Amino acid sequence: MKQSFNNIINSETLILVDFFAEWCGPCKTLAPILKDVKAELGDLIKIIKIDVDKNQELSAKYQVRGVPTMILFKKGNQLWKQSGVMDKNHIVSIIKSNL
């Protein structure tokens, strides 16, 4: 997983990583919001989900202390990080400001 994750976040495209857990209520709330974000932004963004319970090393590397945590990457650089549920318009505006 580590190598493919690094390949993904080193993309020219903005990558929004959603660190989540199956047991996390707010994560379930965020999932359809991220679908709406993807629907609005299309090819401008790629959204991937990382299960913190299955990827503890990755979660530790990026200091994910709570779920959901979203991290925005471009060319391997972390541009933004936020924990908790946010509304679609807020997420879209953050992504657009980093395009």
pLDDT in tens, 39-93: 999 999 999 999 999 999 999 999 999 999 999 999 999 999 999 999 999 999 9
Instruction: Note the pLDDT of residue 32.
Output: 98
Domain containing residue 71:
2-97
Instruction: Note the pLDDT of residue 85.
Output: 98
Active-site annotation holder among 16, 17, 21, 27: 27
98 belongs to the catalytic site: no
Instruction: Note the pLDDT of residue 20.
Output: 98
27 belongs to the catalytic site: yes
Number of independent structural domains in the chain: 1
Contacts by residues 27-32 (CB-CB < 8 Å, ≥ 24 positions apart): 27/67, 27/68, 29/85, 30/68, 30/70, 30/85, 30/86
CATH code of residue 32? 3.40.30.10
For the stretch 15-35, pLDDT in tens is 999 999 999 999 999 999 999
Active-site annotation holder among 8, 24, 86, 94: 24
